[in-house]
Chains A and B, each alone.
Chain A
Amino acid sequence: MLNIFVCVKQVPDTETKVIPNSDGTFIETSSIKWIMNPYDEFAVEQALLIKASNAGATVTVVRVGGSKDTEALRTALAMGADEAILVEAGDNLDSYMIAKAIKGAIDKSGKKPDLVFAGKQAIDDDCLQVPQLLAQMLDMPSVSVVVGFEMNGTKLNLKREIEGGSLEVYEVDGPVLVACNKGLNTPRYASLPGIMKAKKKPMAQHSLADVGVTDADRRVKYSGFTLPPEKPAGKKFEAMEEGQRAGVVKDVVGLLRNEAKVI
């Protein structure tokens, strides 16, 4: 029996206009529409593809975050995952706490993970840390930015994208953590029968304390959230006549050197 775990994060919809909250301690979340992190969709899809060709395989999705909206977990269940685990927590956990909470949740499920999938990064804070931290805690290898996946028994052939568009090919023995990139597969839509079936699927809820995470685990503390300064208006140089051009060039070079400090 193959035990597959998928880490999903709920992130603001890509069209959200992000603003800091009133005391500047986090972003304003009250009016945000939440979606499953798009890279996690590739992770869920890959897990479901493996489940389809391995009788008895189970897919468990794990999320750490608020319990008010459970969009990401419900979407994963409606796509076809078997069960879900929610670790209830605030929004401003750091990567280490999240990884430790997921590790705790996997331990608590009593299932030994054969494969763990995650998106390569979450599109909200773009930390790119949780998959690697979690793999370390689970004592398993990890491969990130994966765009190709083949499995023969416990042997995995993974392709990852590197700079310049080349591919690195890895042969890995499972258990392994795979952090997925766009291009790995085409995530399915949640079907209506899938949504109705998801209602009856189990969703376990734990607190941070249940999975052994305390505030002493915090490695990163946010000191404040502000919008970037507004871009000043551009400068326009008029040089309609031949005679003006030399002067304009001199002005522009001077500004680039002394003000913008780029040359």
Chain B
Amino acid sequence: MNFDYSTEQKEIKETTMKFAKDVMIPKASKYDHDATFPQDIIEKAWELGFVNTCIPAEFGGVGFCAVDSMIITESLAYGCMGMNTAIMANDLALLPIVIGGSDEQKKKFLTPFTEKPLIASFCLTEPGNGSDAAGLKTTVKDAGDHWVVNGEKMWITNAGFADLFVVYATLDPALKHKGICAIVIDPKESSGIEVGKPEEKMGHKCSDTRGVRFNNVKVPKENMLGGPGEGWKIAMKTLDHSRPMVASSAVGGAQCAYDYSAKYASERIQFGKPISSFQSIQFMVAEMAMKIEAARLLVTKAAWLVDNHQPNTQLASFAKAYAADACMQITTDAVQIYGGYGYSKEYPVEKLMRDAKLIQIYEGTSQIQRLVIAKEIFSRR
């Protein structure tokens, strides 16, 4: 047993936290207010190797393990949960290729991402299918020498800037999850893709979220990952990898709220004393510290299981649900500790509270995580 990061992991933490504090935090409020896509931040992060960390070394990436990626994600979310979503969405979209793609597909689709700061989108959710992802309606039809994709996707992160879409579509909705395929679509080489207007959101405002419609989009045969009907398995494995990352972003956001709260509580004077001397405030801050540590340990174990090729479905759901719920509680308490100032946009914590809410919703709501956990428990009895 060892709870220590390796020397390299400590350095990764150091350099990414420095980036979060020096580059991201000073711009987070402005990007949130203007709801503009953080292209310059993504490019800087890409140059330093913080983006697309899942790409294996033989295809030009750093080929980082899940624990390393977890450390990076926590730091970037500490800087800004919204900017991190834009960055993390790239990894989410490329993971299906890493997991289910052939070597030719990996070379063709992943390598360009190591040469330029390109953007990718993962397209699973539909207007009528969120939690019930296997009930998706987008279809893929065999048209002899190519596939044809038809349907509509919803809440697609990075869609307005995507150089690549990874789309889940079904051969026949009656086949349920057995009919689902994962297909790579290059918008430059395809016609019939309609990208909607940016959605106006409560938080993560700088990340680009849109609906995407595929109208008779022709896709080359070689763009299907893992063969017909393999898509569901690829999607589930992707989520096993990505849920610890999303959970880690909740830890980063919570840590940021905690740091602001502990500092503010020590400085804010009421009744002639810093408010940190009052038990009501102490308990809130103690609760924050405790939950952050617990969440981080869960996330670390969920990621460690990925790196050690062990099943992590249950742990990933533990981590995602616990960390997201903790982040919501902690950012809400941060606003409470700041009082009236906390509710004002002049101070940083109300944004954290708005951003935290999405982490309880995307990539499987906190309720879906509990369903996954219950299924893991009772399917073995």
Contact, CB under 8 Å: B53 / A192? yes
How far is B18's CA from A162's CA once the two chains are assembled, in angstroms?
30
B281 contacts the other chain (CB 8 A): no
A136 contacts the other chain (CB 8 A): no
CB-based nearest A residue for B9: A195
List B1-51 residues whose CB lies under 8 Å from chain A: 7-8, 10-12, 14-15, 18-19, 47-50
Contact, CB under 8 Å: B8 / A189? no
B161 contacts the other chain (CB 8 A): no
Cβ of B18: which chain A residues have Cβ within 8 Å of it?
A: 189
List A164-200 residues whose CB lies under 8 Å from chain B: 189-196, 198-199
Contact, CB under 8 Å: B47 / A191? yes
Contact, CB under 8 Å: A74 / B11? yes
How far is B72's CA from A190's CA once the two chains are assembled, in angstroms?
13
Contact, CB under 8 Å: A78 / B62? no
Chain A CB within 10 Å, residue with most, of B10, B11, B47, B48: B11
Contact, CB under 8 Å: A192 / B12? yes
B64 contacts the other chain (CB 8 A): yes
List B133-160 residues whose CB lies under 8 Å from chain A: none
Contact, CB under 8 Å: A78 / B11? yes
How far is B11's CA from A74's CA once the two chains are assembled, in angstroms?
8
How far is B48's CA from A191's CA once the two chains are assembled, in angstroms?
4
A10 contacts the other chain (CB 8 A): no
Partner of B8, one of A71, A191, A196: A196
Binding site secondary structure of chain B = helix
A75 contacts the other chain (CB 8 A): yes
CB-based nearest A residue for B8: A195
Binding site secondary structure of chain A = helix
How far is B5's CA from A71's CA once the two chains are assembled, in angstroms?
14
How far is B44's CA from A191's CA once the two chains are assembled, in angstroms?
10
Partner of A191, one of B7, B10, B49, B64: B49
Count the A-B residue pairs with Cβ separation under 8 angstroms: how many? 41
Cβ of A191: which chain B residues have Cβ within 8 Å of it?
A: 15, 47-49
Partner of A75, one of B14, B47, B64: B14
CB-based nearest B residue for A79: B15
How far is B10's CA from A199's CA once the two chains are assembled, in angstroms?
13
| Given A71-B14, A75-B14, CB of A192 within 8 Å of CB of B50 | yes
Partner of B64, one of A74, A192, A199: A192
How far is B15's CA from A193's CA once the two chains are assembled, in angstroms?
12
Contact, CB under 8 Å: A75 / B19? no
Cβ of A190: which chain B residues have Cβ within 8 Å of it?
A: 11, 14-15
| Given A75-B14, A78-B15, CB of A193 within 8 Å of CB of B49 | yes
How far is B243's CA from A45's CA once the two chains are assembled, in angstroms?
38
Cβ of B64: which chain A residues have Cβ within 8 Å of it?
A: 192
Cβ of A199: which chain B residues have Cβ within 8 Å of it?
A: 8
How far is B12's CA from A199's CA once the two chains are assembled, in angstroms?
13
Cβ of B8: which chain A residues have Cβ within 8 Å of it?
A: 195-196, 199
Mask: chain A, 68-79; 1 = CB below 8 Å from B; 0 = not? 000100110010
Cβ of A192: which chain B residues have Cβ within 8 Å of it?
A: 12, 15, 48-50, 53, 62, 64, 72
Closest chain-B Cβ to A256's Cβ sits at a distance in Å of: 27
CB-based nearest B residue for A74: B11
Contact, CB under 8 Å: A189 / B11? no
Cβ of B7: which chain A residues have Cβ within 8 Å of it?
A: 74
List B33-81 residues whose CB lies under 8 Å from chain A: 47-50, 53, 62, 64, 72
Contact, CB under 8 Å: B14 / A193? no
How far is B50's CA from A190's CA once the two chains are assembled, in angstroms?
11
How far is B307's CA from A121's CA once the two chains are assembled, in angstroms?
43
Contact, CB under 8 Å: A189 / B15? yes
Cβ of B14: which chain A residues have Cβ within 8 Å of it?
A: 71, 75, 190
How far is B7's CA from A74's CA once the two chains are assembled, in angstroms?
9
List A113-166 residues whose CB lies under 8 Å from chain B: none
Given contact pairs A74-B11, A190-B11, A192-B50, enumerate 19 new A-B contacts (beta carbons under 8 Å).
Answer: A71-B10, A75-B11, A78-B11, A78-B15, A189-B19, A190-B14, A191-B15, A191-B49, A192-B15, A192-B49, A192-B53, A192-B72, A193-B49, A194-B49, A195-B11, A195-B12, A195-B15, A196-B62, A198-B11
- 6 residue pairs bridging A and B, Cβ less than 8 Å apart: A189-B19, A191-B47, A192-B53, A192-B62, A193-B62, A195-B11
Which residues of B are in contact with A by a Cβ distance under 8 Å? 7-8, 10-12, 14-15, 18-19, 47-50, 53, 62, 64, 72
Which residues of A are in contact with B by a Cβ distance under 8 Å? 71, 74-75, 78, 189-196, 198-199
